[in-house]
Structure 1
Amino acid sequence: MNIYRTSPKQSRERAAREAAEWLQVMRDGPSAAERAAFATWVAASQLHLNELLMAQVVERELAVSGALQALDLDEVLARAASSDNVVALYDVPAPGAASAEEARAGARAPAARRPRRRLRWLAAAAVVVCAGLLGRQLLLAPPTQEYASAIGEERRIALDDGSVVLLAPASQVVVEFSAGARDIQLRRGEATFDVAHDTARPFRVHAGSNTVQAVGTRFTVNRLPSGTLVAVSEGRVKVMAAREGWLERLWEPEGEVVGAAGGPVESLGKPAALSAGEQARIPQGRQSLVRMPLEKPVETPQGARRLSFRNDTLADIVAEFNRYNQRQIVVGDERALQQRYSGVFNADDTESFLQFLECCSALRVVREDGRVRVAPASYGRQ
């Protein structure tokens, strides 16, 4: 009787291949049977989960960089195989050929989905290529520039391509321009983008798991506790939700997203277009948006800034006020943070808003040195 043992290396290679297959299966709208089989596969081994998470990270990073879009991967793999500077992580089969290991693993993933395993990111993960083979563009990220504004400070930033960024107070962006794209990460706060026209390089603003892309337009992106708000004043933008995070959501209840302003809920399963005069709220952690008409700005004396709220959560309202005022508002109760209010206030006049809460809500306001605490009145005074 022959006993065949699998080495740790072979186990990792097999788990990596299966993770690649399952990653695509779960992306493509799995059936109930596939979801159950996937859950069984993940639960069978810690190694399975590790390889799945690693595959997801690799896919996300390559998708963001866009470095592989213009490459012929068959040529890349052929060149890699003939190079002394390449270390194979596992045997890469010839096009159309299946390894013995794949044949044995055939039952572990749906056969109809198996041809999709030749994904761009999987081919990249199959080999480690030196800088001399693929060039510096694959291994070296383009230079970045970081800009931030202090509480109460607004900044105007002129970018190298002629675009202009207007940073709201207490906001931060990271700018990364390359030969093929203009990417900006909105780390926190709010920014308005006046985009210079350049069809060869898309202009993309990344806010958490959401991306807003435009060519020659003017729009605002605002990151709030409840989600992301996108407002278009000129031109058109395309709003996309990243496909990351699907693994964590597999066991979450679907739930219905209810628009705070009563607007219809639209899926972000595919990109959504917003035109001038429209805005959209993308709830935190959801692949959907609520489309609304863009409100006309309230006329104010020169230099003044108004904050307009319509059925917004206290969490969002507090976040907005705290960007403009050194005296910060602190709310420690989660239920209080989810209460909704409407009104128009001067951005630098938190006292009017606090008086409104004292008058027209069940919340208690405690003014302290340097900050203000807001809590349910039932908590009693401390």
Structure 2
Amino acid sequence: MIKSESSQSIDEAAADWVARRDRADLTQEEEAAFQHWLMGDVRRPGALLRAQAVFLRSEAAGALGNRYDPADFQIEAKADISAPQVSRRRLLMAGSGMAAAVIVGGLGFGLLMPQAYATERGERRLVRLEDGSSIFLNTDTRVSVRYAGGARIVDLVKGEAFFTVAPDAKRPFTVEAGEDRISTGGASFCVRLLEDRPARILVDEGQVSATAAAGHNVLLRAGTRLDMALDSPGRARPVSISAEEIIRDLAWRDGKIAFQGETLAQAAEAFARYGDPSIEIRDEALRQEQVTGLFAANDPVGFSKAIASLFGAHLVRQGSSIVLSRPAA
């Protein structure tokens, strides 16, 4: 039985190859050995990219001198992992500028009007709701939360959010994503709603019921994913996915982007969601090259440098864009 190579040993070998390639040009024999190593395992290209990115970052740190401290240059973290301060957000009230709950005279209970939460590009935010549930907002996301008629309702206006729903059989929790509705009595799931794309639902724990505009209903259990069809909701079917795929899809919660065989064109599109500079790939063959690995969502420059090194591409900064191209053979 052949023993599988560990991820740690792959990472160590990748770091060694990066260091060797930096010290001097590889001989013909060494280059052949490098290519043989690189193609020997699907995990190795991603490990090489990560090692290259770390190397480039350390080079930049060295150029700043011995007193360089990365913390001095970091932008204040935008992820809000505490309970939101109501005074910092406006409560949306129909026909009124007031920011308060309306107390119904003599009945002793409040009608909580919709509360809006949002993130800008590059931001993440954790919102804790009064019922014990929470919403983790990804980049460029907007939601509106309201409680009405014994129901908990969240309108996902745009973006992506991970919902951890406190169990309450008497008050169903419903996410409205465009014309689709996702309901549960208690589950952990993610909903993505991007422009000109069908809503994507991923269930991590528990189960949810997804209902399309046409009335078609689908039950999703833990470990399944569903893309609601734009043209024919009746054809949408959930797909079982592995634990590794779930981790990759939810890597954004840790500020990462995970790729597993996506093209560079798709990778550039993914980075564009998180902020500038954008990545522009002008060579069609280069756009179709595949990439595997885990990368910082806020570091398109480091990613582009690693890609340029791996695929022999030229990198040029033009305004708010990074242009990657490969010289003609």
**Residue 168 of structure 2 is aligned with which of 189, 194, 198?**
198
- Give the C-alpha shift of residue 165 in structure 1: 0.6
CA contact (8 A) 1:277 1:293 kept: yes
* Aligned equivalent of 1:217: 187
Structure 1 residue aligned with 2:87:
none
Are 1:152 and 2:117 matched, yes or no? no
Give 3-state SS (helix, strand or coil) of 1:372's partner. Answer: strand
Larger radius of gyration: 1
Identity score, percent: 29
By how many angstroms is 1:341 displaced?
4.5
CA distance in 2, matches of 1:340, 1:187: 33
Q: Mark the runs of 5 or more structure 2 residues left unpaired by the alignment.
A: 1-110
Tell me if 1:369 matches 2:319: yes
Give the Cα–Cα distance (whole angstroms) in 2 for the partners of residues 216 and 194 of structure 1. 8
Unaligned residue ranges in structure 1 (runs of 5+): 1-140, 244-268
| Correspondence for 1:228 | 199
Map of 2:274 onto structure 1: 324
Letter in 2 for 1:344: G
Cross-structure match for 1:108: none
Q: 2:239 aligns with which of 282, 285, 291?
A: 291
Mapping of 1:144-183 within 5 angstroms? 144-183=114-153
User: For 1:74-223, what aligned pairs fall within 5 Å after superposition?
Assistant: 143-223=113-193
Q: Work out the CA distance in 1 between the residues paired with 2:122 and 2:205.
A: 26
- The amino acid across from 2:241 in the alignment is P
Give the Cα–Cα distance (whole angstroms) in 2 for the partners of residues 201 and 274 of structure 1: 19
Task: State the partner residue of 2:222.
Answer: 276
| Alpha-carbon separation, structure 2, partners of 1:328 and 1:363 | 17
Which residue matches 1:343?
292
Higher relative contact order (CA 8 A, sep 6+): 2
Task: Note the C-alpha offset of 1:355.
Answer: 4.7
The question of whether the paired residues in 1 share the 8 Å contact of 2:210 and 2:218 is answered with yes
SS of aligned partner of 2:170? coil
Q: Distance in 1 between matches of 2:281 and 2:144?
A: 29
Give the match's secondary structure for 2:199: strand
Distance 2:175 2:205 in 1: 16
Q: Deviations over 1:165-191 (max 9, x none)?
A: 111122111112212322212222211
Distance 1:340 1:270 in 2: 38
- Give the distance between the partners of 2:322 and 2:208, measured in 1 at CA: 38
SS in 1 for 2:228: strand
- Determine the C-alpha separation between the residues in 1 that align with 2:144 and 2:318: 35
Partner of 1:152: helix, strand, or coil? coil
RMSD: 3.9
Q: Supply the distance in 1 between the matched residues of 2:281 and 2:151 (Cα, whole angstroms).
A: 40
> Could you tell me how far apart the structure 2 residues matched to 1:372 and 1:290 are?
37
Q: 1:37 is matched with which residue? A: none
Q: Say which SS state the counterpart of residue 320 (structure 1) adopts.
A: helix
- 315-324 or 286-295, which moves further after superposition? 315-324
How many residue pairs match? The answer is 208
Measure how far apart 1:312 and its partner are.
4.8
Residue 236 of structure 1, CA deviation: 0.5
- Taking the aligned partners of 2:311 and 2:193, their CA distance within structure 1 comes to 26
TM-score by length of 2: 0.51
User: TM-score normalized by structure 1?
Assistant: 0.45
- Match of 1:227, SS state, is coil
Aligned to 1:65: none
Structure 1 segments, 4+ long, off by >6 Å, are 359-365
Q: Tell me, what secondary structure is at the counterpart of 1:354?
A: helix
The alpha-carbon distance between structure 1 residues 207 and 278, as it changes in their structure 2 partners (threshold 3 A), is: same
Instruction: Give the distance between the partners of 2:213 and 2:311, measured in 1 at CA.
Output: 38
Q: Distance in 2 between matches of 1:198 and 1:356?
A: 48
